[in-house]
Structures are given as structure tokens and as C-alpha cells.
């Protein structure tokens, strides 16, 4: 059973932020400042704190995902969706989705090692993106 997120009792500002993240779609990663300016472009009088609180609430409800890649100074937000890893370019800071999830067998084995339960795992990669690798090669 997977209740539709929009049936949750969301306030108007929560709904607005949720829609903005959904509309960006999978593969896009928005910083808080991006979310704020997008929210403001639709609702000019919305305050930063309102957007901030909405983002935090939506994250806590599991309706949007928060990621903080290695080396990034800020968190990014994306639609909650299938598990995947992230890659961040050291040179340009671009954050990309990587089609990778830790196999369930691995988490089960690790949980046994810990003697507890693993609720969540996050994988981040860093290095050079294709564009930056090209620029470096031609330099
Ligand atoms: Zn790059
Ligand atoms: Zn992602």
C-alpha cells in the first residue's frame, strides 16, 4: 500500500515546494536557494523560512530526498524515487545520479555484523565528470 503523497495533509506552501521538486524530475538536484527562487517566482510573497520549513517537513515525511554529496557545501533535494547513488565532480561541482544501490544481501550481512538493523544507506562517489575530463585532456 502506497498512499498518494498528495493525500497527506500538506499546507499550501508544502504543496508548492513538493510540486516544484516533482516538476524538476528525477536526475535534477536543487539547492535550498534554487527552491526558494522557484517558489518565489510562483508566489512572490513567500518567505525563505516558509520554504525552508516546507522542505524540512517534506524531507521528514519522505516525500522528497535530501542528499549531501562529499565535498558539497550544501544539501540538494530531489524527488523521492528509486534508490540510486550520486556522483559529484570535484572540479565543477556538478552532481549526477548514478544507477547504483547497495544489494540487499550486503545490507543484510552488514546488519548481522552490527547486530542490529540498517534503515538507510547512502553512497556518494566523487571524481571528474565527462566534461571536465575532456577539458583537462585538451589543456
Ligand atoms: Zn565537472
Ligand atoms: Zn539523485
C-alpha 60 – ligand 2 centre gap (Å): 17
At 88-103, the pLDDT tens digits run 999 999 999 999 989 9
Ligand number nearest CA of 135 is: 1
Ligand number nearest CA of 96 is: 2
Ligand number nearest CA of 87 is: 2
Task: Say how far apart CA 65 and CA 79 lie, in whole Å.
Answer: 6
At 62-79, the pLDDT tens digits run 999 999 988 888 999 999
pLDDT over threshold 60, residue 61: yes
Q: Which residues surround ligand 1, an ion (CB under 5 A)?
A: 89, 91-92, 94, 129, 132
Percent with pLDDT over 90 in the chain: 76
pTM: 0.81
Contact 29, 95 (CB under 8 A): yes
How many other CB atoms are there within 10 angstroms of residue 47's CB atom?
13
C-alpha 53 – ligand 2 centre gap (Å): 21
Could you give all domains of the chain from N- to C-terminal order, each with its CATH number?
Answer: 1-81 (1.10.10.10), 83-139 (3.30.1490.190)
C-alpha 131 – ligand 2 centre gap (Å): 19
Amino acid at each position: 500500500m502506497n498512499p498518494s503523497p498528495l493525500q497527506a495533509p500538506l499546507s499550501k506552501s508544502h504543496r508548492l515546494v513538493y510540486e516544484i521538486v516533482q516538476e524538476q524530475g528525477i536526475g535534477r538536484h536543487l539547492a535550498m536557494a534554487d527552491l526558494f527562487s522557484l517558489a518565489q517566482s510562483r508566489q512572490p510573497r513567500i518567505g525563505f523560512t516558509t520554504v525552508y520549513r516546507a522542505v524540512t517537513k517534506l524531507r521528514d515525511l519522505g516525500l522528497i530526498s535530501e542528499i549531501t554529496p562529499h565535498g558539497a557545501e550544501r544539501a540538494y533535494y530531489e524527488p523521492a524515487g528509486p534508490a540510486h547513488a550520486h556522483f559529484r565532480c570535484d572540479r565543477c561541482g556538478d552532481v549526477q545520479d548514478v544507477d547504483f544501490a547497495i544489494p540487499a544481501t550486503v545490507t543484510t550481512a552488514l546488519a548481522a555484523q552490527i547486530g542490529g538493523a540498517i534503515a538507510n544507506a547512502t553512497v556518494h562517489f566523487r571524481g571528474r565528470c565527462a566534461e571536465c575530463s575532456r577539458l583537462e585532456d585538451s589543456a
